[in-house]
Amino acid sequence: MNFLAHIYLSGDNELLKIGNFIADGIHGKPDNFPPDVQKGIILHRHIDTYTDAHPIFRQGTKRLHAAYHHYAGVIMDIYYDHFLAKNWKEYSNIPLGDFVNAFYQSLQDNYELLTDRAKGMMPHMIKHDWLGSYATVEGISNILKQMDHRTKYRSGMGNSHKELLEFYNHYELEFNEFFTDIIKSVKEKMAVM
């Protein structure tokens, strides 16, 4: 799962969301952070492990593997954020724009908790409204092109919007089934944290 799904799955706890957001840049035990940020980091790791092992997610990556190799999972994460954003009203009573803007504000309010990587990314994320842009294929296409640029075009991700369009209905149905499963798994994990 990519940023939007991680943030959404964190629930209403602002610091848990921050932890979930910065987790990719944290290795080892996250002892230097406040307890709720630590929980967010741990939750992020659970979500990644669960997602990567889920048969539905793996089925989707198989469609991409021949063209994108080890980037297939990264592309799937982006696709899944697209379907979450596109179908946002099915998962939240808060409008997507309001949810996204509240999170951007939270990043600014908790700047001192962010990793250097997150601090460097945050201005671009807010300026270009990455999270809100996930709702459209054009927005996802732009994100994939930016990610391709970061790999010096070795990944080919800039072209992966074509597979999204080709298998759009398959991916959307798979996402809906998968997301029901991960919501349940996250609730179970949070109950014991």
pLDDT in tens, 46-76: 999 999 999 999 999 999 999 999 999 999 9
Q: State how far the Cα of 62 lies from the Cα of 56, in Å rounded to an integer.
A: 10
Residue 182 contacts residue 50 (beta carbons within 8 Å) = yes
Please give the model's pTM, rounded to 2 decimal places. Answer: 0.95
Residue 7 contacts residue 103 (beta carbons within 8 Å) = yes
pLDDT at residue 127, rounded to an integer? 95
Please give the C-alpha separations between residue 191 and each of 1, 39, 180, in angstroms, as whole numbers.
Answer: 21, 11, 17
Low-confidence ranges of the chain (pLDDT < 70): 1
Sequence-distant (6+) residues with CB within 8 A of 160 are 64, 67, 68, 75, 144
